[in-house]
Amino acid sequence: MERLQKVLARAGVASRRCCEEMITSGMVKVNGKVVTNLGVKVDPARDKVQVGGEMVFLTSRLVYILIYKPRGYITTLSDEKGRKKVTDLLKNVTERIYPVGRLDYDSEGLLLLTNDGDLTYALTHPKHQVSKTYLVRVKGVPTQKMLHKLANNMVLGDGPVAPALVKMLDEQKNALLEITVYEGRNRLVRRMCTSIGHPVLRLKRIKIANLSLKGLRPGRYRYLTGDEVKRLKQLAGLQP
């Protein structure tokens, strides 16, 4: 038996703190009855839990998957347009897992999926500044002044951007940049490049913190090792 909020967080519903708020606000039912006590314990193998009227698949196993998302796939779990989902690429994964952050439909590269709600929350929280690195083909060739602005003085409609690392890898007709950011805002890299007058033509995420695309081809995935999970939790402030 485990505390309800811990089981919900592990199932990917939300962070443990958010799950506690859901419980105390009366959003959660266990075996058909509303519970508001944070001390309630459940058996993931037997008890039926609903959040906001929807059944939650409880799991006793935490799963961490790294996938190379191809272009033409969405990272949400449902789509009114019927487009292909990144979870369609997973075979024999019975746990309900969720993407940590997003990659646009037209973008490709590294994506982490898990049912660890606490880790998801921590990795996407701005205060932990978990790095994400992209290869970005932009229209035209930015000047050094523009690259400096991209890295240090960027202000978007939703506020200033934390300092980024920017490298020019190729100065052909359309430049290739390597950009490392420390925030998880929606379409952040695309908006940054557009703001300096060099919109993105192609975007690939190649690193998330200590994880890289090494050994993965588009559409393929692998499970994280124990050491990789431990390192991610350290970066996210979940372990000393």
* Residue 59 pLDDT: 65
Report pTM. 0.78
User: Same structural domain for residues 87 and 45?
Assistant: no
User: Same structural domain for residues 84 and 40?
Assistant: no
Mean pLDDT to the nearest integer, 213-219: 95
* Residue 16 pLDDT: 84
What CATH number does the domain containing 192 carry?
A: 3.30.70.1560
User: Same structural domain for residues 204 and 192?
Assistant: yes
Within-domain flag for 240: no
Residue 240 has pLDDT above 70, yes or no: no
Mean pLDDT to the nearest integer, 149-160: 92
Question: Residues with catalytic annotation?
Answer: 104
Residue 237 has pLDDT above 70, yes or no: yes
Residue 23 has pLDDT above 80, yes or no: yes
Residue 14 has pLDDT above 90, yes or no: no
Q: How confident is the model at residue 22 (pLDDT cuts 50, 70, 90)?
A: very high
* Residue 189 pLDDT: 96
**DSSP state letters, the chain:** -EEHHHHHHHTTSS-HHHHHHHHHTT-EEETTEE---TT-EE-TTT--EEETTEEE---SS--EEEEEEPTT-BSSS--TT---BGGGG--S--S--EESS---TT-EEEEEEES-HHHHHHHHSGGG---EEEEEEESS---HHHHHHHHH--EETTEEPPP-EEEEEE-SSS-EEEEEES---TTHHHHHHHHTT--EEEEEEEEETTEE-TT--TT-EEEPPHHHHHHHHHHTTS--
Residue 54 has pLDDT above 90, yes or no: no
User: Same structural domain for residues 27 and 93?
Assistant: no
Range of the domain at 149: 131-208
Total domains in the fold of the chain: 3
User: Same structural domain for residues 18 and 111?
Assistant: no
Residue 45 has pLDDT above 80, yes or no: no
What CATH number does the domain containing 37 carry?
A: 3.10.290.10
User: Same structural domain for residues 184 and 217?
Assistant: no
Q: Rounded distance, CA 150 to CA 195, Å?
A: 9
Residue 128 has pLDDT above 80, yes or no: no
Residue 124 has pLDDT above 70, yes or no: yes
Residue 175 has pLDDT above 90, yes or no: yes
Choice among 3-17, 68-82, 137-151, 220-234 with the minimum mean pLDDT: 3-17
What CATH number does the domain containing 119 carry?
A: 3.30.70.580
Closest CA to 110 of 3, 231, 9, 211: 211
Encode 103-122: b = buried (16+ Cβ within 10 Å), e = exposed.
Answer: bbbebbbbbbbbbbbbbbbb
Within-domain flag for 137: yes
User: Same structural domain for residues 45 and 157?
Assistant: no
User: 200-208 and 132-138: which strand pairing?
Assistant: antiparallel
User: Same structural domain for residues 118 and 135?
Assistant: no
User: Same structural domain for residues 153 and 44?
Assistant: no
* Residue 215 pLDDT: 92
Residue 239 has pLDDT above 80, yes or no: no
* Residue 198 pLDDT: 97
Q: How confident is the model at residue 60 (pLDDT cuts 50, 70, 90)?
A: low
φ/ψ of 213, rounded to 5, equals -80, -5
User: Same structural domain for residues 119 and 144?
Assistant: no
* Average pLDDT of the residues of the chain: 90
